[in-house]
């Protein structure tokens, strides 16, 4: 294949009148299904970028303590409501390397607030792979190494500090561990229940189908937010943050399965009349084997797309409950718990960086939605 200056491509091979015009299409049809899905998914740029971003985000979850310069509850009493600090490279026209200016605080006797100003005469270089607060790498390896730290005379608040002098960037990094994981646990519970009840109702029909449908209708008729609040309020306040986290995840999963069950039931009602299903039954296959080996694989593309679109709802549900003070509670750190501190609109108006935890929630939810759209269009490569 030769690339001409005008942008055209010319085949160097001589013309063969006996060659089949369907050769390229035949190769595509003989290609594995995963290859066809990947080829089509690559054309969905937003979905591809979102998938890469989410893969990196979940990959970095075990290393949140290494990335964060401080502990999630480490306080700096002299830097309450400190504004975000920028990392600079040049000082007075000379290259110094990554550094920050130390923040100096003064009391404003007119507004009765602390005002922070950078001391631009003293550039203090950042330290890398330095020692700091102790954390558990990947949950069980104790370490005190951090990716970057400020010198002892300075602080490094990339996103500012909150009302207790805690670094917001560090808390956002630690909060991702709970806020991103709650969606995975919740969707697992939802899928196990939804697939089980939906497949049983759609395959067997009759009284089983009637009973499952009545349960689904009852659950879907209940107002969602008040039900969340009632179930979350029933969690004992003396439970550990880990126990509350798992209970909240299970609650979100239990309340989300009826929608999936209805989708699975509707698909099974149409698939159970197919000839290959009848052939499997006549050959003596059990009901469980027919569902596992013949029905679910034909519905898997829809299930994967539904999962990527349901995880954002789980994340938003945990955020809403924690924001209202009925989900995860301090000392646990999640994005919803952090937004709970931003309920006072006056404080947010004065210190707008308190609302920064809202940004990763918006970005992650949009990324999951774009990824779900891309997967939904790609998992059926023969559609176009």
**Bridge partners of residue 18, in order along the sequence:** none
- For residue 56, the model assigns a pLDDT of 93
Q: Comparing 28-32, 146-150, 215-219, which segment has the lowest mean pLDDT?
A: 28-32
CA gap 356, 193 in Å, rounded: 35
CA gap 180, 177 in Å, rounded: 6
**In 3D, which of 74, 127, 63 has the Cα closest to residue 98?**
127
- For residue 22, the model assigns a pLDDT of 46
- For residue 20, the model assigns a pLDDT of 53
The stretch 308-325 carries a mean pLDDT of 80
Looking at residue 295, the DSSP 8-state letter turns out to be I
CA gap 88, 96 in Å, rounded: 9
The pLDDT > 70 percentage for the chain reads: 91
**In 3D, which of 307, 269, 273, 277 has the Cα closest to residue 293?**
277
pLDDT tier for residue 363 given thresholds of 50, 70 and 90: very high
**In 3D, which of 356, 207, 195 has the Cα closest to residue 261?**
195
- For residue 173, the model assigns a pLDDT of 92
Does residue 2 surpass a pLDDT of 70?
no
Two tokens, residue 14:
């001589």
Element holding 375 (H helix, E strand): helix 358-378
The number of beta carbons lying within 10 Å of the beta carbon of residue 354 is: 24
Does residue 227 surpass a pLDDT of 50?
yes
- For residue 82, the model assigns a pLDDT of 87
Element holding 10 (H helix, E strand): strand 9-10
CA gap 102, 143 in Å, rounded: 27
Residue 297 half-sphere exposure toward CB, CA atoms < 13 A: 8
pLDDT tier for residue 55 given thresholds of 50, 70 and 90: very high
The stretch 165-192 carries a mean pLDDT of 88
Q: Comparing 39-48, 153-162, 371-380, which segment has the lowest mean pLDDT?
A: 371-380
- For residue 19, the model assigns a pLDDT of 56
CA gap 90, 324 in Å, rounded: 44
Does residue 21 surpass a pLDDT of 60?
no
CA gap 175, 179 in Å, rounded: 6
- For residue 233, the model assigns a pLDDT of 72
- For residue 52, the model assigns a pLDDT of 93
Looking at residue 82, the DSSP 8-state letter turns out to be P
The stretch 374-382 carries a mean pLDDT of 73
CA gap 236, 21 in Å, rounded: 70
How does the average pLDDT of the chain come out, rounded? 82
Two tokens, residue 383:
């559609």
* Backbone angles phi and psi of 30, in degrees to 5: -85, -10
58-105 pLDDT, tens digit per residue, is: 999 999 889 999 988 889 888 888 889 888 888 888 888 888 888 887
pLDDT tier for residue 142 given thresholds of 50, 70 and 90: confident
Does residue 149 surpass a pLDDT of 80?
yes
Two tokens, residue 379:
């998992």
Answer for the pair 118, 101: CB distance below 8 angstroms, yes or no.
yes
Answer for the pair 322, 339: CB distance below 8 angstroms, yes or no.
yes
pLDDT tier for residue 333 given thresholds of 50, 70 and 90: confident
Residues contacting 305, CB < 8 A, separation 6+: 372, 375, 376, 379
Does residue 109 surpass a pLDDT of 50?
yes
CA gap 300, 195 in Å, rounded: 11
**In 3D, which of 164, 168, 159 has the Cα closest to residue 338?**
168
Q: Comparing 11-15, 188-192, 208-212, 270-274, which segment has the lowest mean pLDDT?
A: 11-15
The pLDDT > 90 percentage for the chain reads: 9
Element holding 115 (H helix, E strand): strand 113-118
The count of residues in the chain is 384
The stretch 14-35 carries a mean pLDDT of 60
- For residue 279, the model assigns a pLDDT of 86
CA gap 40, 47 in Å, rounded: 11
Answer for the pair 150, 124: CB distance below 8 angstroms, yes or no.
yes
This model's pTM is above 0.85? no
Q: Comparing 25-39, 202-216, 279-293, which segment has the lowest mean pLDDT?
A: 25-39
The stretch 340-362 carries a mean pLDDT of 83
- For residue 254, the model assigns a pLDDT of 81
pLDDT tier for residue 15 given thresholds of 50, 70 and 90: low
């Amino acid at each position: 294949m030769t690339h001409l200056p005008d942008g055209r491509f010319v085949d160097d091979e001589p013309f063969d009148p006996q060659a089949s015009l369907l050769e390229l299409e035949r190769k595509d049809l003989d290609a594995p299904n995963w290859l066809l899905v990947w080829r089509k998914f690559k054309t969905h740029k937003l979905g591809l970028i979102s998938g890469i971003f989410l893969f990196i985000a979940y990959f970095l979850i075990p290393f949140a303590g290494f990335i964060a310069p401080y502990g999630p509850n480490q306080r700096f009493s002299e830097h309450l409501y400190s504004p975000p600090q920028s990392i600079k490279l040049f000082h007075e026209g000379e290259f110094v390397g990554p550094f920050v200016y130390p923040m100096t605080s003064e009391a404003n006797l007119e507004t009765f607030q602390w005002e922070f100003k950078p001391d631009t005469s003293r550039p203090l270089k950042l330290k890398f792979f330095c020692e700091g607060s102790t954390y558990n790498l990947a949950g069980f390896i104790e370490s005190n190494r951090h990716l970057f730290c400020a010198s002892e005379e300075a602080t490094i608040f990339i996103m500012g500090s909150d009302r207790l002098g805690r670094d917001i960037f560090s808390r956002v990094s630690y909060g991702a561990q709970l806020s991103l994981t709650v969606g995975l646990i919740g969707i697992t519970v939802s899928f196990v229940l939804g697939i089980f009840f939906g497949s049983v109702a759609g395959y067997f029909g009759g009284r089983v189908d009637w009973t499952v449908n009545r349960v689904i209708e009852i659950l879907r008729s209940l107002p969602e937010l008040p039900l969340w609040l009632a179930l979350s309020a029933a969690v004992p306040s003396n439970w550990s943050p880990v126990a509350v986290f798992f209970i909240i995840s299970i609650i979100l999963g239990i309340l989300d399965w009826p929608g999936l069950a209805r989708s699975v039931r509707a698909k099974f009602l149409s698939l159970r009349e197919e000839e290959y299903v009848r052939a499997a039954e006549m050959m003596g296959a059990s009901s469980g084997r027919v569902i596992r080996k013949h029905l679910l694989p034909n519905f898997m593309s829809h299930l994967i797309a539904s999962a990527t679109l349901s995880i954002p709802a789980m994340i938003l549900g945990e955020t809403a409950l924690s924001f209202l003070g009925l989900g995860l509670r301090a000392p646990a750190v999640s994005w919803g718990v952090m937004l709970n501190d931003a309920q006072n609109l006056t404080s947010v108006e004065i210190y707008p960086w308190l609302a920064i935890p809202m940004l990763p929630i918006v970005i992650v939810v949009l990324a999951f939605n774009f990824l779900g759209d891309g997967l939904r269009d790609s998992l059926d490569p023969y559609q176009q």
